[in-house]
Amino acid sequence: MRIITASMAVLFLTVTVSVAENFNIDMLNKRDDGQKMVYSEDVLYIKSGDMVTWLPTSKGHNVEFVVGPDAADLPKKPSKVNKEYTHTFTQPGIYLYQCSPHKSMGMIALIVVDDDTTNIETIKSTRVFGKSKKKLEELTTGL
């Protein structure tokens, strides 16, 4: 009986429990650093299974996924303007998203899942417009 109990204790000590987290990102007209038409996080690093909730803290914003590691994992439609939106990320890689009404003003951001940057070239070559071109270059530098 002791052998079974000791084995069970070792098993419980070596098993890592992974709990998904929920991260919040604010959709903003102006961030504390003075940047306008932005999300509160330009690049967010998370793990597979984590959820991200975008909060409409300023009016007129939404979330639209542009590209990710697996097109099947991306929502097909943009979120509704001025509405909270939550997405659970299951595929490792980089996700590029934007605010549909303000994409030419540079309102884009990235989520990196499991520190996987294997699709960085796809992200870098994604066609974005206006101020988003320069911002995408800045966000992908060093990834």
Residues annotated in a binding site for Cu cation: 61, 99, 102, 107
- Residues 28, 91, 17: CA angle, nearest 5 degrees: 95
Which residue reads 């994409």 in tokens?
103
Cα(13)–Cα(8) distance, integer angstroms: 9
Any bridge partners for residue 87, and if so which? 52
Determine the distance from the C-alpha atom of residue 72 to the mean position of all C-alpha atoms in its chain, rounded to a whole number. Answer: 16
Q: What is the DSSP letter of 15?
A: P
Alpha carbon distances (Å) from 109 to 12, 18, 47: 39, 26, 17
Q: Residues forming the annotated binding site?
A: 61, 99, 102, 107
C-beta atoms surrounding 21 within 10 Å? 11
